[in-house]
DNA sequence: CTTGAAACTCACATGAC
DNA sequence: GTCATGTGAGTTTCAAG
């Protein structure tokens, strides 16, 4: 993992459809050398895959919410029950265990406030391990994720 | 935007390198019809782009942090000054304006706790519009974003 | 929407330096 | 690391049903 690799990754993070020829030119390497590096980055797991980036609202997901969750306890059973429940809900896009007053931070996207209410009341609150939740409704996206910054 | 489009998007969100032929087979459409739909989804902005997904730790970003930020006021100058400062910091990957006790939620990835301390003390705290911050250190990723759920 | 064909671009593997 | 090259695969477009 050197500066050339980081340069390759920075470009592929933004546009993975660039041709090897164009990519090699932008980083100042020959096509085959560049190609070899990309294949290595794929093989060693640095590049996990290639994905289409969708416009959230264009696919009808008007509502984005972050939820802080506190569990009844940090006992193994509660943690695992919660995590399993989370993984089973496709509307929950990500979930992080965090420090602080709450135990987890999750991100959710749904079509409407009504859908969020249903998710919140009928599915999240129904998880026995959950003791408290705090909804952080996203009003606007100031900055959207477009790849990691590789210094 | 019908069920076929959603099926296409669900697949491309996970693997954008699938060939048109394979994609068309998976959704049960002819190659040309499938191709036309994908191009339309690209043209109308539903597909914003194609990106390589990187393994965060593989690129040396061991520390992931969420930060809740409260501003001194909701006056236009403060909001704009804050948002401009946020957009100028590449380590800040995303930023959302939120409801609740705090005004913004931001996500940051850095190499080390030391790097985070520097960012927190020297760059974030230095923004005049900021009055209060709360750090939510990510201890573990329970569920990682792998595309929106399209019902 | 379908099939089928033609034209073209790239990816990929190879061999040599 | 570089360059050159040939083949196969995939993309893209078009015609016709």
Q: Is residue A51 part of a domain?
A: no
CA atoms of A88 and A41, how far apart (whole Å): 31
- We report the CATH number of the domain holding residue B74 as 3.30.70.920
Q: What is the mean pLDDT of chain B?
A: 97
Footprint of strand D on the protein (CB under 7 A): A 4, 28-34, 36-37; B 19-21, 31-32, 35, 39
All residues of chain B having their beta carbon less than 8 Å from the beta carbon of residue A137 are: 98-100
A102 and A64 within one domain = yes
A113 and A61 within one domain = yes
- We report the CATH number of the domain holding residue B29 as 1.10.10.10
Looking up tokens 């939120």 gives B98
Q: Is residue A143 part of a domain?
A: no
Counting the structural domains of chain B, the total is 2
| pTM beyond cutoff 0.85 | yes
Q: Is residue B73 part of a domain?
A: yes
Beta carbons of B12 and A95 less than 8 Å apart: no
**What's the CA A59/C1' C4 distance, rounded, in angstroms?**
34
Tokens of residue B33, six digits: 């019809």
Q: Is residue B49 part of a domain?
A: no
The CA-based angle A106-A111-A116, given to 5 degrees, is 50
Q: Distance from A5 to chain B by nearest Cα, in Å?
A: 10
pLDDT at site A140: 98
pLDDT tens digits along B25-50:
999 999 999 999 999 999 999 999 99
Show the domain range for A82.
57-137
Nearest to A108 by CA among A45, A44, A65: A65
Task: Using pLDDT thresholds of 50, 70 and 90, give the confidence band for residue A43.
Answer: very high
């Amino acid at each position: 993992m050197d500066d050339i690799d980081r340069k390759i990754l920075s470009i592929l993070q933004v546009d993975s459809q660039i041709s090897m020829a164009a990519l090699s030119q932008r980083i100042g390497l020959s096509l085959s050398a560049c190609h070899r590096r990309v294949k290595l980055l794929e093989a060693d797991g640095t590049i996990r895959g290639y994905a289409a980036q969708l416009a959230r609202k264009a696919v009808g997901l008007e509502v984005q919410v972050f939820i802080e969750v506190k569990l009844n306890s940090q006992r193994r059973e509660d943690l695992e029950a919660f995590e399993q429940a989370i993984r089973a809900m496709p509307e929950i896009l990500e979930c992080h265990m965090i420090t602080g007053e709450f135990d987890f931070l999750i991100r959710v996207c749904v079509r409407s406030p009504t859908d969020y209410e249903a998710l919140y009341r009928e599915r999240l609150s129904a998880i026995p391990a959950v003791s408290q939740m705090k909804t952080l409704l996203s009003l606007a996206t100031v900055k959207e994720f477009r790849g990691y910054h590789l210094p």
